[in-house]
Amino acid sequence: MRPLVQTILLICIISFGYAQKKVASPPTDPLVGFDNFVNQMLIEWRVPGAAVGIVKDGKILYTKGYGFKDLKNNLPVTAQTLFPIASCTKSFTATALGILADEGKLDWNKPVKDYLPDFQLHDEYATRIITARDLVSHRTGLPRHDWTWLYANLDRQSLYQRLKYLPLSKPVYAQYQYNNLMYMTAGVLIERISGKSWENFLREKILSPLEMKQTVLAYPELFQSSDYSLSYRDNNGQWLEQGFGSNIDAIGPAGSIKSNVVDMSHWLLMQLGKGKFGNQQIISETNLKETHTPHIIVSPAEITFSELGYASYGMGWNINTYRGFLRLSHNGSIEGFRSQMTFFPNQNFGVVVLTNTGAVDYYFVNSICNYIADKWLNLPVIDWASRLKTAQAEAKAKQQKTKDENASKRKSDTKPSQKLSSYRGKYEHPAYGSFVLETRGDEEFIGVFHNLPFTLQHYHYDVFEGTGAFDQAKFDFRINATGDIDRVVVTLANAGDIEFKKTAP
């Protein structure tokens, strides 16, 4: 019996030792096979070019470019290639406010009106109580109204002065409403308090100490670089250059930064480093935490995948959980470019992905970011590409359903109340600007808004439907007491009903 006991004991010890060794063995290097994965995603999602940066434990672990920044000339993306990062800029503006708070020049909770006496919204109550914190947490009640600035020939100050003509769609604090114009206003606030332009403040207080040496803030600077990406749109399977005419520089604090994955890795290191980069404290840990703190629930409150928690918004950051881990992130979209930056503060890990097409929206960047997260968090890898392809198909089906429902609501056998020439003329709004309508054919108008062409086709009665710049927007023409067409109410997504008055025949 004794030899048998010894044998069993020996087997148990060996087994235990093997088990201990197996558990203690280090995980596979997360970067093994990563290049192949990214290149495969470029093919599957049809993305011309991208760049990826990864940081961990205070160090840059990976920066690399994939695909092409210029298809015509076969120029590859590099780790230094500049991309417009669009709304990823918002975290920089929120941080700039935090720096002013560190300097004792800004109180997060003090009304903006106290710093900007000329600040004026359409709603007087909102004008009096909105704070700097509110400007950058999307809770002012102002909807996007993006057509006030997109492709318009207006500068920042002109847009700021037009805020008073834009109706709020919700009471202050009532609901999350993403808004670029309020971030632009935060930039004006920075300028007034500091005595420096938003651009110069960022260069001095953020870009220079972070050694973001290649990052630029306006297109003229970008075009002086020898390494920047073009953007592309899909035209029936063919890539066409999208161009740079959006006027994003005018609302710079909301989205005008152009950077690369090397410089953006420095940005993530500072976010993970409690406001410190190298030996320099860029922003205090206290005020950096303010930007990382949830301020409002993102509406609608929904969980698209079981691995994701409910989303909230801080100041320049979306905040939720990914597979149980706290995650902060932000994405950006302008002129075909798509960007995504993500970090996990408790794991001291972050990633940035920059791309040059909007043809697949954020599906590609999310596929990359989620894959990297799974690898570095040492979790079973989820096939996010397949999941997101299903989500993409469902989104397209939903869009088609909306179009079908729109067509079904059209009242047939109706006609305009007046001859078509009566609707021609110039229509103006004090914030949105103007457009001129000319007739084309028996039931169609052509027009130009902010240098973008559009057409109007008869929908029913005195309602016309837009194409081009005003795709699917309804134009409801109204008649005055004398029976003349004197205005048109245009229903715009993320803005509501905007009335343009007829000022010339």
Encode the chain (505 residues) as per-residue pLDDT tens digits: 444 344 333 333 333 333 333 333 345 788 999 999 999 999 999 999 999 999 999 999 999 999 999 999 999 999 999 999 999 999 999 999 999 999 999 999 999 999 999 999 999 999 999 999 999 999 999 999 999 999 999 999 999 999 999 999 999 999 999 999 999 999 999 999 999 999 999 999 999 999 999 999 999 999 999 999 999 999 999 999 999 999 999 999 999 999 999 999 999 999 999 999 999 999 999 999 999 999 999 988 888 899 999 999 999 999 999 999 999 999 999 999 999 999 999 999 999 999 999 999 999 999 999 999 999 999 999 999 999 999 999 999 999 999 999 999 999 999 999 999 999 999 999 999 999 999 988 778 999 999 999 999 999 999 999 999 899 999 999 999 999 999 999 999 999 999 999 999 9
Nearest-angstrom CA–CA distance, 54 and 34: 12
Amino acid making up residue 228 = Y
Beta bridge mates, 329: 318, 342
173 Cβ neighbours under 8 A, 6+ residues apart? 134, 139, 141, 296
pLDDT of residue 469: 87
Nearest-angstrom CA–CA distance, 327 and 321: 5
Query: Tens digit of pLDDT for each residue in 35-82?
Result: 999 999 999 999 999 999 999 999 999 999 999 999 999 999 999 999
Q: Are 425 and 445 in contact (CB under 8 A)?
A: no
H-state helical runs in 354-428: 363-376, 384-408
26 Cβ neighbours under 8 A, 6+ residues apart? none
DSSP calls for 184-209: HHHHHHHHHHHSS-HHHHHIIIIITT
Q: Residue 28's closest CA among 336, 379, 314?
A: 379
Q: Residue 138 region, left (φ>0) first, then alpha (ψ -120 to 50), else beta?
A: left
Amino acid making up residue 464 = F
Element (H, E) at 75: strand 75-76
Examine domains 34-400 and 420-504 and report if their fold is the same: no
Half-sphere exposure of 260 (CA within 13 A, CB side): 24
pLDDT of residue 271: 98
CA triple 92-98-99, angle to 5 deg: 90
- Parse the chain into domains and list their residue ranges: 34-400, 420-504
What's the fold here for domain 34-400? Beta-lactamase (3.40.710)
Task: Give Rg (Cα) of the chain.
Answer: 26
Query: Looking at domain 420-504, which of 3.30.365.10, 3.30.360.10, 1.20.120.1760, 2.40.128.50 is its CATH number?
Result: 2.40.128.50
Element (H, E) at 67: strand 59-70
